[in-house]
Amino acid sequence: MNVRRLHILCEGQTEENLATETLRPYFTSHDTYVTVSVLTTRRTVAGPDSKGGVGRWNALDRDVRLLLRDTSIQVLTTLVDYYGAPSDAPGMKNRPQGTPYDRVAHVESAIAEAVGDPRFLPYLILHETEAWVLACAETLGELVEEPRLADSLRAIVESAGGPELVNDGPNTAPSKRIEGLYPTYRKTRDGPDTVCLAGVEEIRRQCPHADAWFRAVEERLGTRQPG
């Protein structure tokens, strides 16, 4: 039996925790296994590599190409925030007018074309990882024992038209909304824990761009069920 391998390249610790705790179990099956790594953004002469954040396009491009040298990887994907993505990444400077879905899809397509390997499936979280947390507002409220927090977050999502449409301003991005209402929010722990407890299906139900990515990964792995 041929074993499929999915590798998820993560922007930082938050995404790594999310991938390890939620995405790896979700995608793993009897003939598929999942590996996870964090983007290397700064190499030092002494000591280990520094991790976390994207910085410039060449950092992401370098790590993607190094991973693609591993022929055991059937699908390589990314878990990187669209908000704060490298301004010099392919497609960023000529994003079309239209919806956020149109714009992020344009950048992902340009990145895929620039790398030029059919095994590579770039994914940018619209607009950042906390969009997934907003989709699980009730679970977050239960986790931190603040039920009113869930009500406030649901109102934000409803006003925007969906978790992925909560915008990417420096003071209004999903993480800033959550921190504004709950200042002790722990980005690397509370967020991944919330998504893990709520489950992938809640994300897929509320986040069309994320759902399209899940479908694409499953199709490339050959694990998508009909219907």
Q: What is the mean pLDDT of residues 133-162?
A: 95
What is the per-residue burial (b if ≥16 Cβ within 10 Å, else e) of 26-56? Answer: bbeeeebebbbebbbbeeeeeeeeebbbbee
Beta strand pairing call for 75-81 and 40-42: unpaired
Give residue-wise pLDDT tens across range 85-138.
899 999 999 999 999 999 999 999 999 999 999 999 999 999 999 999 999 999
* Amino acid letter for position 226: P
pTM here is 0.91
3-state SS assignment for residue 5:
strand
Is CATH 3.40.50 the right assignment for the domain spanning 4-126+208-221?
yes
Q: How far is CA 31 from CA 2, 73, 164, in A?
A: 7, 13, 32
Q: Where are the domains of the chain?
A: 4-126+208-221, 130-200
The reported pLDDT for the residue numbered 84 is 81
